[in-house]
Amino acid sequence: MEEVLAYDVPVTRLAFRVGYLGDRFAGSQMQPGERTVEGEFVAACVRTGLFSHHREARFLAAGRTDRGVHARGQVFSFSTPYPDRAVAALNWQLPPDLWVTGAAIVGDGFHPRYQARCRTYRYYFTEPYLDSGVMDHAARAFEGVHDFSAFARVEGGKDPVREVFSARVFHESDLPVLEVRAESFLWHMVRYMAAALFTVGQGSAGSRSVSDRLAGLTGPALSPAPPAGLILWDVDVGVTFSAIPLDDRTSRFLDGQWQHHRLMQRVCEAVREDRPRGTGEWNHEAW
């Protein structure tokens, strides 16, 4: 849909479905002197000539992710006089750890954050031995409307009440996965939920510990689970995206990351096997 900016150039407002690996970014939001997802995305748009400044283009995101958090279905939106160029060229201008998988023409007033009807996160646990059955049972307590003060870092003035549409734990490739859906989340909310379910899965907390915390009962202190396992899986903004294929460079990068981490898993297993034999205390006099 075309609109006219102050300088009388007809532009089209676009929405993009965006993915990234978060371990090399200082979060998604633009920060001076830091490598961020939005910063790299806007820089690619400027290089491609899609706009000269992100404010002029009304660049907007569906939400923020913290340092180290990944995304499969983040949504960015901006206005440009060159929609065809944006779709054709962005993946070639973006760094290989940031890519677009879909695009759509949207209305002039489209705002991905305010029009998000549902956000889905997945948290991948690294411990295959966790009891996903009891974790799934405990996760159901998150569903519905609750005060999530015990499962988040609540910023001043923020309403801690949220409605969780669904929460479940299942196995994927032999690893337990938490999937949670809600319209919006508090800061670190999913990571605190994952941390609580981890204690349930390893047996150090009972399956009722989640519902007890939601009811305001105190328990052992929780820290948010590490960010590396968290993926912003999907944001439903009521838009149907046309698919954009990954460029070869990003595909090679992702394949290389998979191979590297698979190799490093085996390397770590190998070096851990080389442990000192025997018993007894450390004898400093022998050195």
User: For each of the chain's 287 residues, which pLDDT tens digit applies?
Assistant: 444 444 467 899 999 999 999 999 999 999 999 999 999 999 999 999 999 999 999 999 999 999 999 999 999 999 999 999 999 999 999 999 999 999 999 999 999 999 999 999 999 999 989 999 999 999 999 999 999 999 998 888 889 999 999 999 999 988 999 999 999 999 999 999 999 999 999 998 888 999 999 998 877 888 999 999 999 999 999 999 999 999 999 999 999 999 999 999 899 988 987 666 665 666 656 55
3-state secondary structure 274-286: CCCCCCCCCCHHH
- Of 8, 23, 66, 248, catalytic: 66
pTM for the structure as a whole: 0.90
Residue 179's H or E segment, with its range, is: strand 175-182
Question: Which ranges of the chain does DSSP label H, i.e. alpha helix?
Answer: 37-47, 83-93, 132-139, 189-201, 209-214, 248-273
Q: Report CA Rg, the chain.
A: 22
CA-angle at 54, arms to 52 and 58, nearest 5°: 120
Residue 92 main-chain phi, psi, to 5 deg: -80, -20
Residue pair 120/233 in contact (Cβ under 8 Å)? The answer is: yes
> If we measure between CA atoms, which residue out of 3, 70, 1 comes closest to residue 233?
70
> If we measure between CA atoms, which residue out of 200, 71, 177 comes closest to residue 122?
177
Residue pLDDT, tens place only, 206-225: 889 999 999 988 778 889 99
Is there a catalytic annotation at residue 66? yes
